[in-house]
A and B are shown apart, each in its own frame.
Chain A
């Protein structure tokens, strides 16, 4: 498949393609992508300053997938993400200072410093967690969808995952169970072409790691341009509507590209220069900005969004930096529901 051919819904839209958000929603999706981009840039800078320890897995370049799907969701829908999940947390409305605080191991961290970059969770925002064991959370998203179905709400669960997850058993168990129970769940594969350091094509038996497998679970193959928030929004809107109406799960494969390496330890040198250049020319942010301008959004409006995101990042960073280190009094807290860790009587 050529890259050109991925600029729109390629195949199998559930009810036909073409759901277009209004301009206000689309401007919001631009804001979402800008905030995610700037957040990741700052996270990287903080890492280089040794203020973020451990590791980080940045989603720079993949913002359009998260923004497009988030635009299609209600606040009470459940979102499950991966260790490359800063952007998903942001787009569910998790405050930026709490995210920076968590990355930096500060008292103001979203989880008081006990989770870290790979485990961001905000139950209050129905952001049900970032999961760092590849594929596991697809099964957990099923549980939330099953619960919604049983309780008779029309909530939908969404699970984001990488291309690498399509080769682990939990992916297949989750897809099968979701299909037979007709669960209101949308599985979104962010195919950035690499599972960690290795090309996904080198380790996968089929051409499209998620879409080619959809038929095994009786699902339509959905392969879309993940660098175009409008395309993602259209596809996600259809899939979410299908789930809400009782039509069961969808599996979306969104093609995108990681601008950097897998994690902090990886400079990503295994990727051909020509490939990098090709995908950098399809960077979702400038492309989306240009389209919004041509659709009539004033440049000043978009400039203002960028300035506000810049300021928001700066303020959040300073708030987190001013917060004291995580409180060691919490280390034996919240192992059990009595709030403590006592295992004996």
Chain B
């Protein structure tokens, strides 16, 4: 029988599932051990797997990422937590210049089966340096896979798939979702990277969303249904690999596409997706594709301001309703 747990608890469940299965899986990061993580997402792992497999590090993002890379080169499957996704900028060289390029530059000699976990996104009033959605930065780098789960079940299944994958996977946990609950399987759960899921079927318009925005898109779709607009809501789940097939199939059916993105406007993931859809599905469209994103600003701290920046259910409803009129 399925159990209901939080997104936060699902992180530890997913990690434990893989650590119990494979002794080469190890976890490092700031406060991930005895403290259970600043997001409390690794509670219990230190006690269960011990200090050699769950290691606390200093505040040294480059050292954390370099250690993960070197370990992955030499037989381990490390998972590194970078805490707030904003901190990726401090270790950007190791991810972008080292981890992402190693396989290519060596023509396949180096394999890096590693996962980097981040607490991504806004909504918690932390201000501009602890709230960014960095998926666009990571998606732009050849050699990285990018995963953004939206539910506890996906956290477990996609975590397992990421750890078992032989490429470096950037695993973006949505901070705003840590407290949300959902059903998870009571048996081993392994999902597949690069597969989007249709969360709600509909024929009036396609809403493509990711992470926290999946939930807002679903709420918006319910409101729009009251007006007679039946939206199909797609949860991309992964940006790399990008499941274009599921999106194109839906757009062919609905003839209208909207993206709902938490990231700032310029070069957000939706820009790439819109480009693909206009190239490949142009004659299936009955109207312009619209992107609903945060404006091109850093995230402000005050609740009233942050709420005005990140796409809200009301904004999604308004844009879709007006453009379909």
Residues of A whose CB lies within 8 Å of any CB of B are 78, 111-112, 114-115, 119, 121-124, 128-129, 131, 133, 136-148, 150-151, 157, 169-170, 173-174, 176-177, 180-181, 330, 333-337, 339, 341-345
Is the Cβ of B67 less than 8 Å from the Cβ of A139? yes
Interface string of B221-242 (1 = CB under 8 A from A): 0000000000000000000111
At the interface, yes or no: B71 with Cβ under 8 Å from chain A?
Answer: yes
A147 to B68, CA, bound (A): 9
Q: Are A144 and B73 neighbours in the complex by a CB distance under 8 Å?
A: yes
Contact of B107 among A140, A145, A169, A330 (CB under 8 A): A330
Classify the secondary structure of B's interface with A.
mixed
Tell me whether B142 and A335 are in contact (CB under 8 A): yes
Q: In the complex, which of the residues B26, B55, B106, B276 contacts A111, with contact meaning CB atoms closer than 8 Å?
A: B106
Of all A-B residue pairs in the complex, the 10 with the closest CB atoms, nearest first, are: A143-B70, A139-B66, A337-B166, A173-B63, A173-B60, A334-B108, A143-B67, A144-B70, A147-B74, A140-B70
- Chain B 70-82 per-residue mask, 1 if CB under 8 angstroms from chain A, else 0: 1111111010000
Max chain B Cβ within 10 angstroms of own Cβ: one of A124, A128, A334? A334
Contact A334 to B103, CB < 8 A, known contacts A133-B93, A136-B62 = yes
A141 and B243 CA atoms in complex are apart in Å by 36
Complex CA gap A204/B60 in Å reads: 22
B1 contacts chain A at the CB level, 8 A cutoff: no
> Is the CB–CB distance between B69 and A173 below 8 Å?
no
* 6 further A-B pairs in the complex, CB-CB below 8 A; given A119-B106, A141-B66: A122-B109, A136-B94, A139-B66, A170-B62, A176-B63, A343-B240
Please name the residue on chain B nearest to A142 by beta carbon. Answer: B67
The answer to whether A335 touches B143 (Cβ under 8 A) is yes
B98 touches A337 (CB 8 A): no
Most buried by B among A119, A133, A337: A337
Give the distance in Å from the alpha carbon of A129 to the alpha carbon of B66 in the complex.
Answer: 13
Interface residues on B, range: 35 or more
Judged by a CB distance under 8 angstroms, whether B194 is at the interface is yes
Q: Give min CB distance, B1 to chain A, whole Å.
A: 33
Is B58's CB under 8 angstroms from A180's CB? yes
Find out whether the CB atom of B106 lies under 8 angstroms from the CB atom of A114: yes
Q: Bound complex: CA of A180 vs CA of B67, how far in Å?
A: 13
Assess the A170–B63 pair: CB atoms within 8 A. yes
Contacts of B78 on A, CB cut-off 8 Å?
A: 143
User: Max chain B CB contacts within 10 Å: which of A124, A136, A173?
Assistant: A173
Q: How far is the CA of A112 from the CA of B106 in the complex (A)?
A: 8
Question: With a CB–CB cut-off of 8 A, which chain B residues contact A169?
Answer: 62
Flag if B72 contacts A123 (CB, 8 Å).
no
Q: Looking across the interface, which residue of chain B has its beta carbon closest to that of A331? A: B104
Choose one: A141, A335, A343; the contact of B103 (CB below 8 Å): A335
How far does the alpha carbon of A336 sit from the alpha carbon of B194 in the complex, in Å? 13
User: Which residues in B have their C-beta under 8 angstroms from that of A343?
Assistant: 142, 240-242
Q: Which residues of A contact B60 (CB under 8 A)?
A: 173, 176-177
Q: Which residues of A lie under 8 Å from residue B307 when comparing CB positions?
A: none
B65 lies within 8 A of chain A by Cβ: yes
Is the C-beta of B102 less than 8 angstroms from some C-beta in chain A?
yes
Q: Tell whether B219 is near chain A: CB-to-CB under 8 Å.
A: no
Q: Which residue of A lies closest to B106 (CB)?
A: A121
Decide yes or no whether B6 CB sits under 8 A from chain A. Answer: no
Kindly provide the distance from the CB of A339 to the nearest chain B CB, expressed in whole angstroms.
7
* Smallest CB gap from B195: residue in A: A345
Chain A residues, CB < 8 A from B108: 333-334, 339
Q: Which chain B positions have C-beta within 8 A of A177? A: 57-58, 60, 63, 67
Within 8 Å by CB of B63, from A139, A157, A330, lies A139
Alpha-carbon distance between A121 and B102 when the two chains are bound, in angstroms: 10
Chain B residue numbers with a CB within 8 Å of A119 are 105-106
Give the residues in chain B near A141, CB-CB below 8 Å. 66, 70
| Residues A140 and B143 in contact in the complex (CB < 8 Å), given A123-B109, A333-B108 | no
Residue of B nearest to A151 (CB): B75
Contacts of B58 in A (CB 8 A): 173, 176-177, 180
Q: Are B106 and A115 in contact (CB under 8 A)?
A: yes
The chain A residue sitting closest to B66, CB to CB, is A139
Asked if A111 and B194 sit within 8 Å, CB to CB, the answer is: no
